[in-house]
Amino acid sequence: MTTVDSPLLRMSHVSKSFPGVQALSDVSIQVKAGEILAIIGENGAGKSTLIKTLGGAHQPDAGCIEIDGQPVQLSNPIRAQSLGISIIYQEFNLVPFLTVRENIFLGRAIQTGQVINKSAERRVTNELFQRLGATIDPETTVARLSVADQQLVEIAKALHTNARLLVMDEPTAALSPAEVEKLFETVRELKSQGIGVIYISHRLDEIVAIADRVVVLRDGKLVADRPVHDTSRRQMIELMVGRSIENEFPKVEHATGEKCLSVQSLNWSNRVCDVSFDLHVGEILGITGLVGAGRTELVQLLAGVETPDSGTIKIAGQPVRFCSPRDAIRTGIALLTEDRKRQGLVLAHSANENFGLPNLDEFSTASWLNLKQESRRLADFTNTMNIKIASSRQLAGQLSGGNQQKLVLAKWLQRNCQILIIDEPTRGIDVGAKYEIYLLMNELVASGKSVIMVSSEMPEVLGMSDRILVMRAGCLAGEIVDPSSATQEQIMELAAQ
C-alpha cells in the first residue's frame, strides 16, 4: 500500500548507454500519485529511452527504480504492466479491425469456461469509459473511431490493467484543439483518481495548461525539474536548447508580389466546399482549423493527390487540371506531407535516393543516372541547409525528424518548385530544428517562392504567416489579414463555432 512519504515512482541516478551514445546519464525523477509530470527535451535528449526504461523495454545500466518505495526490476514489458505502469505510445497498440471491447480485453478475456462472456466485458468497458467521462460504443470497430477516441480506448485499456502510472508520449500530435481540451479533461479526471501521469510533448502550451511539474532533459542529462507555474514558455525553450533564444518565430516582414496561384470554388466530395483564395509570390499563407476541417484535403487537391469535383485552379493566370501528383510537380507545386515517414520519404532507402526521386529527369541523360551530379547537389543542400547526415548513403529512416524534414525540403528545392505546400512543417521536430525550418521558410519566400503552410499549432501560424485562412467543416471560415495583431482566440472563434 502507498505510504504517505514514498512517491508512486522514483527513478534514481538512472544511466543507460548504447554503443556510441550515452542516452541517459544520472537521471532522477519522481512522480507522486495524482501528479502530472511533463518531460520535455529536444529529439535525442533521452525522452524515448526514459520511457522505454519505464516500460521494461530497456534495462538501465545503473541506478534504481522504486515503486511505492519498493525497488523493482522492470525486466520486461509485462512485468512493468503488472506493476501498474502503462505506456501509450504515439503509434497506438490497437488492432484496427477488432471492436473496442475486443481490443480492451485482448489477451485477458472474461471467460465462462472456454466461452468469452461478452456481456460482462461490455459492462466493464462501459464502466471504464464512464471513469473517463467518455461515451464510446464498445462494439464499434476501432478503425472507425477518430484518433482522439482511439486514444481514449488506449487509456481505457491501460486502466483495465490497473495502471497507476500512465505515460503518454506526444498524445496530442494528431488531435484538434477541441479534442486536446477533451483529452485534458480526461487526464485531470485520472489525476483526481490518484493516477500519476508522465506527459511528454513538444507543445509547450499544453504543458503549461496541464502539468504540475516539468522535467527538462538535454543530451541525456536532467537539466531542470521545477513547478510549471514558476517556469515561462521561453525558459523551457532555453533549457531545452541550452542557449538563450531571442525569438521563437523569426518572421521577416517583406513585400509580396503578384498572384501566382488562384483557386475558385473548389469542391471535393463533401470535405472541401466552395473554397476560393489567392496566393501571392513571396507570401507565406497559413491555413489552419481543427483536424478534419478539410485543410489536408484542400492542399491535396492543389498538389494533384486528389482530383476536385468542380472548381478551377489557376497558376500564373493559366487554368490547370491535375490528374496525379506528377502533373502538379511539373507545374511547380510541391507538397510536403504531414506524415513524412509514410508519405514523404522511403525510410529504408538512402538520403541520396530520396533526394533524387523527384529529380530523376534532371539527374539523368536518356534514363542513365548521373550519380556524381546527384550526390554533389545533395552535398550542396546539406551544407547550405545544415542537414546532418553521415554520408549520402545513410538511410533516411536513421535521420532525426528535423533532418528528415530538411531532406524532404531539399528534394523539392532541387526540383525548383515555385509553390511549396508544407503540411504541419514542424510536427515531431524539436525546438532547435523548428527554428531552422522557420529560417528556411523565410529564405524561400525571400527568393521569390511562395509557401502554403498548413498547421494546427496556433503560435506557429500566427508567428510565421503573412496571411491566415481558417477552415471549418470543409469551408473557408474566415481570413486574418494581419496575423501580427491577431490572437489565438480569434482563430479559435472562426475555427470552432
Partner 1 sequence: MSKPKNNSRLGYFLNDYGMIVVLLVLMVVLSLVTIARQQPTGASAGKNIAKQINALKDPTEFLLITPQGKLDFEIAQGIQQHIDQRHTLVNSVHGGPREANLAIRAAREAGKKITVIACTSASAKWDPVKNAEAKKIIPSSYIWPNFLMPDNLVTIAQRITVIAIIAIGMTMVIITAGIDLSVGSLIALSAVVTGVLIRDCFGGKDAGTLGLWIAAIGGIAACVVVGFSTGFLVAAFRLPPFIVTLAMMLLVRGVANVLSQQRTIHEIPVAFDVLGKGYVLGIPIAVWLMFALFAVAYFVMSRTTLGRQIYAVGGNEEAARLSGVRVKRVLLIVYTICGLLAGLGGVIVCSQLRSAKANYGQMDELTVIAAVVVGGTSLMGGQGKILGTLIGAFIIGVIQNGMNLIHMDDKTQMIVLGSVIVIAVLLDRIKKGQVKWSDIKNVFTS
**Residues lying near partner 1 in the complex (CB under 8 A):** 76-78, 303, 305, 324-326, 329-330, 335, 337, 342-349, 353, 356-358, 360-361, 364, 367-369, 371, 391, 393-395, 397-398, 411
Strands 333-336 and 284-289: unpaired
- Name which of 37 and 328 has its Cβ closer to partner 1: 328
- The least distance separating partner 1 from the CB of residue 213, rounded to whole angstroms, comes to 33
Of 287, 388, 394, nearest to 349 by C-alpha is 394
- The least distance separating partner 1 from the CB of residue 492, rounded to whole angstroms, comes to 31
- Name which of 96 and 194 has its Cβ closer to partner 1: 96
- The least distance separating partner 1 from the CB of residue 207, rounded to whole angstroms, comes to 32
152 sits in which H/E element:
helix 147-160
In the chain the first and final C-alpha atoms are separated, in Å, by 48
- The least distance separating partner 1 from the CB of residue 414, rounded to whole angstroms, comes to 12
- The least distance separating partner 1 from the CB of residue 376, rounded to whole angstroms, comes to 16
- The least distance separating partner 1 from the CB of residue 325, rounded to whole angstroms, comes to 5
Report the residue count for the chain: 497
Do residues 253 and 77 make contact, with C-beta atoms less than 8 angstroms apart? no
Strands 450-454 and 419-423: parallel
- Name which of 257 and 397 has its Cβ closer to partner 1: 397
- Name which of 406 and 411 has its Cβ closer to partner 1: 411
Written as one string, the DSSP assignment of 368-380 is EE-HHHHHHHHHH
What residue type is 338 in one-letter code? Answer: E
Alpha carbons 458 and 286: distance in angstroms, whole number: 10
Do residues 211 and 228 make contact, with C-beta atoms less than 8 angstroms apart? yes
- The least distance separating partner 1 from the CB of residue 349, rounded to whole angstroms, comes to 5
Do residues 306 and 297 make contact, with C-beta atoms less than 8 angstroms apart? yes
- Name which of 153 and 335 has its Cβ closer to partner 1: 335
Alpha carbons 407 and 178: distance in angstroms, whole number: 32
Coil, strand or helix at 2? coil
- The least distance separating partner 1 from the CB of residue 98, rounded to whole angstroms, comes to 19
112 sits in which H/E element:
strand 111-112
- The least distance separating partner 1 from the CB of residue 33, rounded to whole angstroms, comes to 28
- The least distance separating partner 1 from the CB of residue 345, rounded to whole angstroms, comes to 6
**Alpha carbon distances (Å) from 475 to 252, 416, 472:** 29, 31, 5
**Alpha carbon distances (Å) from 242 to 104, 136, 367:** 42, 44, 48
- The least distance separating partner 1 from the CB of residue 374, rounded to whole angstroms, comes to 10
Q: Which cell numbers hold the place of 316?
A: 500564373
Q: What are phi and psi of 36, to 5 degrees?
A: -110, 115
Q: Which residues contact 484 (CB under 8 A, 6 or more apart)?
A: 251, 462
**Exposure of 141 by Cβ count < 10 A (0-12 exposed, 13-18 middle, 19+ buried)?**
middle
Alpha carbons 53 and 88: distance in angstroms, whole number: 14
- Name which of 243 and 372 has its Cβ closer to partner 1: 372
- Name which of 347 and 439 has its Cβ closer to partner 1: 347
- Name which of 19 and 317 has its Cβ closer to partner 1: 19
Coil, strand or helix at 407? helix
- The least distance separating partner 1 from the CB of residue 240, rounded to whole angstroms, comes to 28
- Name which of 107 and 317 has its Cβ closer to partner 1: 107
- Name which of 21 and 371 has its Cβ closer to partner 1: 371
The 221-227 sheet, strands edge to edge: 85-88, 165-169, 196-200, 36-40, 213-218, 221-227
Of 253, 226, 258, 216, nearest to 40 by C-alpha is 216
- Name which of 50 and 303 has its Cβ closer to partner 1: 303
- Name which of 140 and 364 has its Cβ closer to partner 1: 364
